Amino acid sequence: MANSISLNQHLDRAAKHYSSLFRLPSYKRIVQLLALLCMVSSFLSTFSFTPPSLWLTYGLLLGFAFFSITLLTNYFLAMFVSKEDPIYDLRRTAALSMFCWAFWLLFIVMGCAVAFFTAFSHWAVRFCLLGFSAVIIFRIIVLYSTSSMNFQRFLLASIFQPFLCLMPFVFLWWLNNANIKFALGFSVIALVIALASSFSFIFLLNFIGKRSLGEQSIPIFRAFLMNWVADLNAPIESFLERLSEQYNVEVSIIRFDSSKSKVFIVVPSVHPGPFKNVGSSLLPFMLKKALEQKFGGVACVPLGLLGHELDAASQSQVQKIIAGTLQSADFTAKEVKATPFIKASNGLATVCCQVFGKTALISFSLAPKTTEDFPQELGDAVRKEAVKLGLESCVTINAHNSINGIVDMQTALDALKNAAVNCLKEGVSARVTSFKVGAATVLPKEFSVEDGMGSGGITVLAVETGSQKAAYVIVDGNNMVSSLREKILDALKLLGFVDGEVFTTDTHAVNAVIFNERGYHPVGEVINHEKLIGYIVEAAKGALASMEPAKFGYRSILISGVKVIGRKPLEKLCMLTDNVIQAARRIIFPLFGAAFLVLMLISLYV
């Protein structure tokens, strides 16, 4: 579990890096800031070249020219040059211009300061041209890294606006007898040096990804952005498929058949990640929906014992899992006897077990402590114990129902295994009776993925054995705030349920959709607890109303050749962001410092 937490931390940190790129002001605010930057730049520029009586006139005219050129070129670039690019709409195009003007303004300020103290206005020209060079470099790097335009459009988007914005400066210098040939010649040299230094920088960053993953860093970064901004999963999934490894996916299928309906519990050995709509993040909802559409009734897809190393590489791989499951789920349920719902706890671990025929359905939780991903080895060990006790099969589920700090891995696993053995022993010796089953799903429209709830909503499975009613509550979310589970179970007791357990599917469809530190909200972090419990009670009442005598069936299948990401490639992919940022910090000053030194020498001696 420590390794799982470490990988989750890498994923969360990567999500934080990418999500920080989209904290931009509104378009209206960007335009206001652009107007301010253009006016400040124009007044500072006229300060070095015009008498005080003309500062206001020249400053306003120059500022209007800068602002008009910037706005018009933003529209041109957004509407014609980058119109098919999912990243660069008008707002982000304007934001890029805003950052460019802020960058250019720094050099204008330095040029004005040096010109003022030396009484030589040509310093203002030189620093302004250096700022022009810096803007070209900045635009080349940003647009190459983030846009999907072809090279011609990329080059036009990089240099078109800076060259047009340079023209009012040149006109101002011409009015004041500056060397215009030098300025124009320098701008061409600056473009060449900007291209050379920018692509050298890009090459060095790409080399980091090539060395660690066999793929260039910048295209991976761009694919992430296309998913974060435009929900396009294909670009990043193409990388994940190339990094993936083949895996035989086990799917445990439980079905309850009654006279009127069917209920499915399906536990695939694939983790529902890594984020948003990428890979198997939507698997719990997609599989639930597919089963319900084909067979009717109610289906739920809780989490097995596994981690991010078993994220499917793409949605096409998820379709393989769904197709195999649908084909194999059409079998007859025959078992008519079950034990009561049994819960065993040892202070740290809580294990719930119910035996149907010769199959145990067993779940694991550390609530109210953190219950994150559990390793497959725990499930293997518990299955061996189940076989020793005379059971034929054992379906293991991670309740994934509390997040509250970090728990020592080995201590937690020992506690879980001991509780599981005790629970199984009690289960196999318990009295068996006929049983009733009912299930219902509620889809709260007011809760969204931004709130931490996936499209699968809330499903409640009610099982009655003898005089005992037990509830299985499955919420389509990624974990749950500590103590909410206990509130839910208390509310269900008022409906006559003796006991039960609360599960989340661990869907990562809720991940990387908000800009907080974690990148998502666990169930109950922003969702009102009373409203949530109200919906759960509604689903529980529906399950009780549909309850009738049922039969149990179980089948385990293997779906071969499914591409999963694997722990090491995924960890390297998530660490790549940090590695690239660190490398960029090391090389940015020597590389571009040398470029600006060359440009400065050219401006002084040519």
How confident is the model over 529-575, as pLDDT tens digits?
999 999 999 999 999 999 999 999 999 999 999 999 987 887 788 78
How confident is the model over 322-333, as pLDDT tens digits?
999 999 999 999
CB 503 within 8 A of CB 367: no
pLDDT tier for residue 1 given thresholds of 50, 70 and 90: very low
What are the boundaries of each domain within the chain?
25-227+574-605, 245-564
- Cβ count within 10 A of residue 164: 16
**DSSP reduced 3-state for 235:** helix
**DSSP reduced 3-state for 389:** coil
Burial of 61 (0-12, 13-18, 19+ CB in 10 A): middle
Structure tokens at 456: 């699968």
Q: Which of 198-202, 278-282, 343-347, 563-567 has the lowest mean pLDDT?
A: 563-567
Is the Cα dihedral 402, 408, 411, 417 positive or negative?
positive
Burial of 84 (0-12, 13-18, 19+ CB in 10 A): exposed
Task: With a cut of 50, say whether residue 4 has pLDDT above it.
Answer: no
pTM of the model: 0.89
For the segment 336-348, the average pLDDT, to the nearest whole number, is 97
Q: What are the distances in angstroms from CA 217 to CA 139, 278, 495?
A: 18, 19, 55
CB 406 within 8 A of CB 514: no
Cα 470 vs. chain centroid, distance in angstroms? 35
* C-alpha span between 538 and 547 (Å, rounded): 14
Contacts 24+ apart (CB under 8 A), 427-431: 427/339, 427/342, 427/353, 427/354, 427/355, 427/360, 428/355, 428/389, 428/390, 428/391, 430/339, 430/340, 430/342, 430/355, 431/339, 431/340, 431/466
Percent of the chain past pLDDT 90, that is, above it, reads 79
* C-alpha span between 406 and 371 (Å, rounded): 9
Q: Nearest 5 degrees, angle CA 240-CA 244-CA 249?
A: 115
Q: What are the distances in angstroms from CA 523 to CA 12, 214, 504, 573, 580?
A: 17, 37, 8, 27, 33
**DSSP reduced 3-state for 347:** coil
- The pLDDT assigned to 225 comes to 86
Q: Which of 120-124, 385-389, 522-526 has the lowest mean pLDDT?
A: 120-124
Q: In 1-32, which positions are buried (b, 16+ CB within 10 angstroms) versus exposed (e)? A: beebbebbebbbbbbbbbbeeeeeeebeebbe
- The pLDDT assigned to 174 comes to 86
Which of these, 118, 76, 83, lies nearest to 97 by C-alpha position? 76
Which residues on adjacent β-strands are paired with residue 473? 460, 502
* C-alpha span between 497 and 431 (Å, rounded): 19
Task: With a cut of 60, say whether residue 10 has pLDDT above it.
Answer: no
The residue ranking higher by pLDDT, 119 or 215, is 215
Structure tokens at 203: 């090459």
* C-alpha span between 600 and 509 (Å, rounded): 51
- The pLDDT assigned to 178 comes to 73
- The pLDDT assigned to 409 comes to 85
Task: With a cut of 90, say whether residue 197 has pLDDT above it.
Answer: yes
For the segment 23-49, the average pLDDT, to the nearest whole number, is 92
Sheet holding 435-442, edge to edge: 298-300, 262-268, 245-258, 548-564, 435-442, 458-465, 468-475, 499-504
Q: In what helix (H) or strand (E) does residue 374 lie, and over which residues does it extend?
A: none
For the segment 300-324, the average pLDDT, to the nearest whole number, is 96
pLDDT tier for residue 518 given thresholds of 50, 70 and 90: confident
Q: What are the distances in angstroms from CA 257 to CA 326, 329, 467, 550?
A: 16, 12, 21, 5
